[in-house]
């Protein structure tokens, strides 16, 4: 395996992209069994090289093996297995939910066809998961793929390059390694979809570049994801424990982490003490040697500076070492929305704790300053409070009484809204995102008399027949509640039919109902 990441020569990039684009049009990877075999090969390639992956991430980010297993490998395996288990049924397509009378004999269906060639631009914070999970979806959709890994994690990128080169057909996937120049050269090529995970600034650049060629893109960005802790939270202790884990795991470099906590004044002091308690218990041994590293010195200095500039009170942690890329788990209380910690996504192990007196005002602050976060967390058992938070704040995900765990569930789509991104993936959502839903129908010639009304000259009778066959009558009035009378009518008719059959059966002659032998 390689120990140093070799950048791809820029002059080779067009040929690499063309190789997989040409391969796509051979239909070599259209067959579902070919896709499944590729996914199986990928599964075992990762399994067989876990030790190398763990060592590489230790070198790059000082990630503890347990974090890699829990937050990168396990979700990756879960997504692979879920997709492998369901892919055959997904590629079969589906019937429309309902079909107008006129099209009953047309066999309408929706099929998912591959898009073509997909570009995956990975991220540094979870460099294995955020590179390979989109790859899984793209392969499942029948596409060919070009991968651009983060140059910020060179050891892991080198290992993944070797793993994928050995496990997958080089006409299915090509890997481009490098920095800004290589990424820029890649974006000059034509793709059928681009998925990018990273900052909003770079995401905007990529979206503009994609727009030049009308290339759709999925943007997985970030933002300041808030947690609300109200006085109606049944277990403040457990809420603090879950928030501390979500915030400080991976050195706070998690796009869906709790960026800040808004806590009701009545339980504020108690909750702050619980945060300190659980930070000590879960991350009290954190040090330069044992805790995860910030990705580079520039970001380490950035996080250190916003801590120093904060007007809040550092009640736990606050230590840093720029050269070692280390920031200790830090809790800051009495923070306001004008504070340095609240101006942008922190992306480091610092938890600002903001007090509030009125939930409505606290919600308004989120909408005003940090709308459309990637995730939204409500720690309360009051239904009205849950509804208020959920209905007023748009977010990529919404969790009650826990944080970040949703990203490990392949059955749920993962994605942002507004400034936190667009599009989603994971599991079936990946299959849908990396395919096109194509409408199909097969019209028999013998139904032509049913369609005569469409040909000119059209009479009033023709129009009446066509409208009756194509459009059901409205089952609601201009005012009042809209009820689903069609379902009610259908269920009533079925019930009446069954009841009639039962009555006839009970009242008929017994000898006529029970055959004799």
* Both structure tokens of 338: 């004008």
Torsion (CA) 467, 470, 473, 478 in degrees, nearest 10: -90
Q: Are 219 and 425 in contact (CB under 8 A)?
A: no
CA 269 vs CA 232, 334, 354: distances in Å? 15, 10, 11
Helix (H) or strand (E) holding 194: strand 193-197
- CA–CA gap between residue 188 and residue 200 (Å, rounded): 20
Helix (H) or strand (E) holding 156: helix 154-167
Q: Are 176 and 470 in contact (CB under 8 A)?
A: no
- CA–CA gap between residue 1 and residue 16 (Å, rounded): 22
Residue 220 is among the residues annotated as catalytic for this protein:
yes
Tokens 């000590």 belong to 280
Those residues with Cβ within 8 angstroms of residue 415's Cβ, 6 or more apart along the chain or in another chain:
218, 220, 396, 421, 422, 423, 424, 425, 429
- Choose the catalytic residue: 67, 220, 345, 385: 220
Cα three-residue angle 167-173-178, rounded to 5 degrees: 105
φ, ψ at 47 (rounded to 5°): -55, -45
List the beta bridge partners of residue 350: 330
Residue 511 is among the residues annotated as catalytic for this protein:
no
Q: 489, 441, 438, 499: which is closest to 114 by C-alpha? A: 438
- Choose the catalytic residue: 210, 217, 233, 255: 255
Q: Which residues are catalytic?
A: 220, 255
């Amino acid at each position: 395996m390689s120990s140093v990441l070799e950048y791809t020569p820029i002059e080779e990039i067009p040929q690499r992209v063309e190789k997989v684009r040409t391969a796509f049009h051979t239909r070599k990877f259209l067959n579902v069994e070919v896709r499944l075999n590729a996914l199986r090969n990928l599964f075992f390639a990762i399994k067989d090289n876990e030790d190398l992956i763990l060592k590489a991430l230790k070198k790059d980010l000082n990630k503890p093996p347990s974090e890699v297993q829990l937050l990168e490998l396990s979700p990756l395996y879960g997504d692979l297995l879920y997709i492998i288990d369901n892919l055959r049924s997904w590629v079969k397509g589906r019937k429309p939910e309902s079909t107008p009378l006129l099209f009953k004999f047309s066999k309408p269906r929706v099929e998912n066809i591959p898009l073509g060639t997909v570009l995956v631009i990975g991220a540094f914070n979870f460099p294995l998961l955020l590179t390979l999970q989109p790859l899984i979806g793209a392969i499942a959709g029948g596409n060919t793929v070009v991968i651009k890994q983060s140059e910020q994690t060179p050891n892991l990128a080198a290992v993944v390059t070797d793993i994928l080169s050995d496990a997958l057909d080089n006409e299915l996937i090509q890997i481009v390694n490098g920095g800004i120049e290589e990424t820029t050269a890649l974006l000059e090529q034509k793709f059928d979809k681009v998925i990018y995970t990273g900052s909003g600034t770079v995401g905007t650049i990529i979206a503009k570049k994609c727009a030049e060629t009308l290339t759709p893109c999925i943007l997985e960005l970030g933002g300041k994801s808030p947690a609300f802790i109200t006085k109606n939270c049944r277990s403040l202790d457990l809420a603090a424990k879950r928030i501390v884990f979500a915030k400080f795991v991976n050195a706070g470099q998690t796009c869906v982490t709790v960026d800040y906590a808004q806590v009701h004044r009545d339980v504020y002091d108690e909750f702050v003490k619980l945060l300190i308690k659980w930070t000590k218990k879960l991350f009290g041994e954190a040090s330069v040697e044992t805790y995860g590293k910030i990705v580079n010195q520039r970001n380490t200095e950035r996080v250190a500076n916003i801590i120093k500039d904060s007007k809040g009170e550092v009640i736990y942690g606050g230590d840093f070492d720029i050269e070692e890329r280390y920031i200790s788990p830090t809790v800051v209380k009495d923070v306001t929305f004008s504070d340095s910690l609240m101006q942008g996504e922190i992306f480091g192990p610092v938890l600002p704790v903001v007090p509030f007196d009125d939930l409505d005002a606290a919600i308004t602050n989120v909408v005003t300053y940090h709308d459309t976060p990637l995730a939204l967390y409500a720690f309360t058992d009051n239904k009205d409070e849950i509804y208020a938070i959920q209905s007023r704040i748009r977010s990529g995900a919404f969790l009650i009484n826990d944080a970040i765990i949703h990203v490990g569930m392949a059955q749920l789509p993962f994605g942002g809204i507004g400034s936190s991104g667009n599009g989603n993936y994971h599991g079936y959502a990946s299959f849908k995102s990396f395919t096109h839903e194509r409408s199909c129908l097969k019209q028999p010639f013998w139904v032509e008399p049913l369609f005569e009304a469409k040909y000119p000259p059209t009479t009033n009778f023709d129009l009446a027949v066509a409208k009756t066959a194509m459009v059901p009558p409205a089952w609601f009035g201009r005012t009042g509640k809209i009820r689903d009378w069609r379902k009610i009518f259908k269920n009533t008719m079925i019930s009446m039919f069954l009841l009639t059959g039962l009555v006839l059966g009970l009242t008929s002659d017994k000898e006529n109902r029970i055959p004799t032998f």
